[in-house]
Structure 1
Amino acid sequence: MSIGIPLITLNNGVPMPQLGFGVFQVPDAETTAAVTAGLQAGYRSIDTAAIYGNEAGVGRAIAESGLARDDLFLTSKVWNSDHGYDATLRAYDVTLEKLGVDALDLYLIHWPAPGRDLYRDTWRALERIYADGRVRAIGVSNFEPAHLDRLLADAEVVPAVNQVELHPSFQNRAVVAANAAHGIATEAWSPLAQGAALGSEPVLAAAAAHGVTPAQVVLRWHLQQGRIIIPKSVTPSRIAENLDVFGFDLTADELTAIDALDIDGRTGPHPATFEG
């Protein structure tokens, strides 16, 4: 499936590329070119969402790529306003239509939106889609340990993935531990925190030692800790650079120094209060 990219085996046995291509905040008009550049560089996992408004752009790139559907791993997410059993089933059909595919590889609840108190009903819909063979794996995004516990109390399927904010300045350790306890893979969105930690001494020192960029150091830090990551760029050179992170290994001391950069520096909304 992927070209030189390690695969993570999810808890239901489905392999997922450990490094994928994200399109958050990419306008639909620019998405086709960006995804095309990503596919040409070697990415085979694409992460989008209904709220991004660019599923159609992703679909155009896929259709024009000439790649077999089985060679791609596609992820999208149901938005907060579509929580609820029936609404989620409808939202999934809309996502498939926009992407121009018959099924996704991974479908996520984008946020728990606890004020709506519908994420368990939404999960039942994802379980239905999964049971019907219309998606290869299902998961969640931005779920805190309390949300996971409540979901799992009456879930039939354990989420395969929890996609959360995670980078050197915000390592989200409690969520990572909860994911591991339940056999859920941790996927990091904003793995570079829009550059927040790239100027730190440990990252710069490692970059100099290995002859790579600070961004490549941070992406490598994620990978060596077993996380799935989805860096985003619309610049072809940066798209290729973000993929070129398999030719070096950070030392144990370098990993520890980057671990020490954690300052609870969340950049996105808090899942306990965000309703969208």
Structure 2
Amino acid sequence: MKRKCWCGSQLDYHDCHEAFDKKLKQYKKHGYLIPNHKMIKNEKQIKAIKRAAVVNNGLLDYIEEHIQIGMTTQDIDDMAVAYTSSHGGYSADLNYEGYPKSICTSVNDEVCHGIPRDYVLQDGDIINVDATTGVNGYYADASRMFMLGHVSEEAQRLVKVTKECLEEGMKAVKPWESTIADIGTAIEKHAHANGYSVVEEFCGHGIGKAMHEDPYVYHYTPKEKTVLIVPGMVFTIEPMINQGTRHIHLGTDNDWTVYTDDGKLSAQWEHTLLVTEDGIEIISK
């Protein structure tokens, strides 16, 4: 008797994920922690995430073309609102657990969740712009670093090495071979080799019908066991790398913006990835 696959594809289970599940059971027998079915996306869901990514990527491209010294971080938020709405999308950040804006703008020693405001971008600033866009109930997430004007060599190096950390994390994604912990180990190794520290309080995450889903994607080597990486998983890698100490604190100006404890610079890059049969596909960047 035929039965529909658990993935929601509407295909017969035998033709869809039966062989996949048998393979997972074999890995479980060998001691691996295997992902649950909720972490696996079907083709329809992947296409929907990619549609959201088109808008998210376009938004970051648009910001990259227009960001400049003298504008405020609120101006960036205004651009995000106008671009996203005119391209059939909406911000996942706005009103998420009370977050008041449509994008995150984290400048210099702001690690993450910088709220757009009247801060005027200065010559020499580095800024992370983090965007999560929804289209028809599916989401894509990415962030980029921008360097404004005459940026110090130290800041340029931090931005460069942070992107390399992301790239090292992506290289560690090997379907049916690596686990989530391998991503964190690769990132941490590269950051430490370059004299930087890795923020441990924030992570990458699964994404799809919600902005934050399982798995929890570490950017350092975790003590606990982590899940096997398999095709069909969609998640972000988004390391936050600090120039000095890894320790951070919540600012007193709002309940969101996180700062480095020592006031030194922090940088972050983020991609949304699809795990394929033979590697990864970058969906949003």
Per the normalisation by structure 2, the TM-score is: 0.26
- Structure with a larger share of its residues in strand: 2
Relative to total residues, which structure has the larger helix share, 1 or 2? Answer: 1
Alignment TM-score, normalising by the size of structure 1: 0.27
Q: Which has the larger radius of gyration?
A: 2
